A and B are shown apart, each in its own frame.
Chain A
Amino acid sequence: MQKQAIFQSKLLPYALVAPQLAIVLIFFYWPALQAVIQSFLLQDAFGLSTTFVWFDNYVELFRDPAYFEAIVRTFVFSFAIAVSSLSFALLLAVMADKPLRGSMLYRTLLIWPYAVAPPVVGVLWIFMLHPSLGIIARYLRAIGVDWNPLLDGDQAATLIILAAAWKQISYNFLFFLAGLQAIPKSVLEAAAIDGARPMRRFWTVTFPLLSPTIFFLLVVNIVYAFFDTFGIIDTMTRGGPGTSTVTLVYKVYSDGLLGGNLGSSAAQSVILMIMVIVLTGIQFRFVERKVTY
């Protein structure tokens, strides 16, 4: 059987991939390169004075103990967000996959939160849990819980994780549902005939067959938690109380955009980029072995 497509002209394949390559170069590599260049510079917000400072921006970062705290915090947050949103989404998907009356409606409703922009997610959760604005916060206080994320760092961190995970659940749900529906019914039926109970069927048949989806979502969720949560943090806590919700990406945002310190901000984003590359590499190297396609 002929598997390879044969191009008559040598140029045609290049021409066909050129648009994609151009997009990748312009929108991914060019900005990344700019960040690397910027990270060696010291520049005012208006770009009027520029000095080349070699690795000063990096050195200053690693001299700052707060930066290491932010690194650890980011990993904790990312892990918590990824695990909670993945497991909850899987639970919902398994339930929505059952033959239920009105399951289409449930599915649609479960997908909705994904359409909400991160800062809006922040505002939504503030309206529920802000100590002076929130409805749920009022009830919590009424039953004697000292709910005050404005001063309690752990509560604030929980709030951020909750909001960020909630937003990602829809996305994960969508993929899990598609994954579940792609599992051949005959396999499950065969297992049932062999006498496997639902839980056993899930862990021995469904879960392994879902592993490519889980792996993909794990990578996507980690990247999401690393990069996409600053809008939520900005609207909900602005990194406070103290520095208990300052993550790496929020620090990039606040130092660069609020502080006008573009050099340090760029250095931080380069470090962040390297971290995610390494992390993704590790996932593909070690976690992927457990994936059966």
Chain B
Amino acid sequence: MALRQFGAATAFALTVGMTASPALAVTEIQWWHAMTGANNDVIVKLANDFNAAQSDYKVVPTYKGNYADTMNAGIAAFRAGNAPHIMQVFEVGTATMMAATGAVKPVYKLMADAGEKFDPKIYLPAITGYYSTSKGEMLSFPFNSSSTVMWVNLDELKKANVEIPKTWPETFAAAKKLHDNGHPTCGFSGSWVTWVNLEQLSAWHNVPLASKANGLDGFDTKLEFNGPLQVKHLEKLVELQKDKTYDYAGRTNTGEGRFTSGECPIYLTSSAFFGNVKAQAKFNFTAVPMPYYPDVKGAPQNSIIGGASLWVMGGKPAEEYKGVAKFLTFLSDTDRQVYIHKASGYLPITKAAYEKAKAEGFYKDQPYLETPLLELTNKEPTENSRGLRLGNMVQLRDVWSEEIEQALAGKKTAKQALDAAVERGNTMLRQFEKTAVK
């Protein structure tokens, strides 16, 4: 780790040394991120555009590895006393960042201190809800957001004479039919097993995942996802796993190739999978909203987001914060949001940008890019669907996955597995509560 940081520091020093302009008044703003490929290009372009638009500040983006690496690098840098100004943190790191009072500077405070015009209402509430306190104060700045959608291989569905399913019972029936007609190893599957089958499932059906509005209203939260709905859902998956009508594809997104290769004709994962599908799928495809159980009253509710937001780190001089605030205002610009949306496939974060993309007819050819937005804005978010904020979320997800795997492997019943996942998770939450700064 130390060596890598040294390497990064050297690389950074060289870049700065080569590109530094003679003007001494320029204040530098460090931006650590985890974007690769086309999304990295977007980040670089945003920084360059901002730097060209004014001469007081210079945003310097630095790639720090994947989401977890970036966060760990940021934490290590903070402990060493040289944190970046802006850090991209994935949504599951939110509670950890939020608990670190003093290590971060809340965005609403930053904007007020810097005297920047800032209206949290212009952002899509389904997105900002995740990153705001219960009083509506925005803690971090939403950047790249996505949501869970159901990817469908239209050619295979047509071949098996199956309609695109809307509800879970329809999905199970469709998967059975597909399984019997040329897909013996996988009728349907999905990535991020806990995100799709616990977190999104709960929000989509307006059922709590944890108390205290899923942790948004305080760290003394308790997990509650061993209720009848979640148990019923997992029982169904366990049953379908037996003959591979459903086939588990791993904890992360390593199984996504099974959709693009045509093995699994129905696949639930992030809307950000779009880039890969477009590049690799040799069939007609679309993305539709997640299925729901029609016997649950009021379902579907609204989905919750995935992706990352920008956190501003604490303890920097006011002058530098002014630059950070200006940069966030710059990012909020409607045209810029439309550009980010189109170039990366992530969601626009402001209402105006969404309206503009719609008016331009962007979703006519690619209706599936609107699907996650329709899910997020399906209904006014409730206590159970505003978002999630649980400490140690990365590890929590691993523990939940462990228990779900036990159930799918037939070592535990669905109820036993979810009870154990809740119990082990609660122990970890109490541990987190103990260490969180009061």
Contact = CB atoms under 8 A, between A and B. Distances in A.
Given A152-B409, A241-B402, 19 more contacts: A44-B435, A46-B78, A48-B102, A130-B254, A132-B254, A132-B257, A132-B258, A133-B257, A141-B185, A150-B405, A151-B409, A239-B398, A241-B406, A242-B402, A242-B409, A254-B395, A258-B395, A259-B394, A261-B395
Contact of B434 (A42, A47, A151, A240): A42
A268 B434 CA distance: 19
Among A42, A44, A243, find the residue whose CB has the most chain B CB atoms closer than 10 A. A44
Interface string A38-71: 0000111111110100000000000000000000
Interface string B416-434: 0000000000001001001
A113 interface: no
A46 B409 contact: no
B103 A257 contact: no
Contacts of A47: 78-79
Interface of A: 42-49, 51, 126, 130, 132-133, 141, 150-153, 238-243, 254-255, 257-261, 264
B37 to A, nearest CB: 18
B68 interface: yes
B411 interface: yes
Given A48-B100, A258-B395, A42 B435 contact: yes
Contacts of A150: 248-250, 405
A261 B79 CA distance: 15
B437 to A, nearest CB: 5
Contact of B405 (A48, A133, A241, A260): A241
B207 to A, nearest CB: 25
Given A238-B251, A239-B402, A261 B100 contact: no
Given A242-B402, A242-B411, A258-B394, A43 B435 contact: yes
Contact of A45 (B96, B248, B263, B398): B96
B436 interface: yes
B110 interface: no
Nearest to A141: B185
Interface of B: 68, 72, 75, 78-79, 96, 99-103, 185, 241, 248-252, 254-255, 257-258, 263, 392, 394-395, 398, 401-403, 405-406, 408-409, 411, 428, 431, 434-438
A240 B254 contact: no
A48 B437 contact: yes
A189 B252 CA distance: 59
A207 to B, nearest CB: 40
26 contacts: A42-B434, A42-B435, A44-B437, A46-B75, A46-B103, A48-B103, A49-B437, A126-B254, A132-B249, A150-B248, A151-B241, A151-B409, A241-B405, A241-B409, A242-B403, A242-B406, A242-B411, A254-B395, A255-B395, A257-B68, A258-B68, A258-B394, A259-B392, A260-B392, A261-B435, A264-B431
Contacts of B68: 257-258
Nearest to B75: A45
Nearest to A44: B435
Contacts of B100: 44-46, 48
Contact of A261 (B75, B78, B252, B392): B392
Nearest to B185: A141
A49 B433 CA distance: 12
Contacts of A259: 392, 394-395, 428
A133 B435 contact: no
A62 to B, nearest CB: 15
A268 to B, nearest CB: 14
A151 B434 CA distance: 34
A37 B354 CA distance: 53
B409 to A, nearest CB: 5
Nearest to A47: B79
Given A45-B100, A48-B100, A258-B395, A240 B405 contact: yes
Contact of B409 (A44, A153, A239): A153
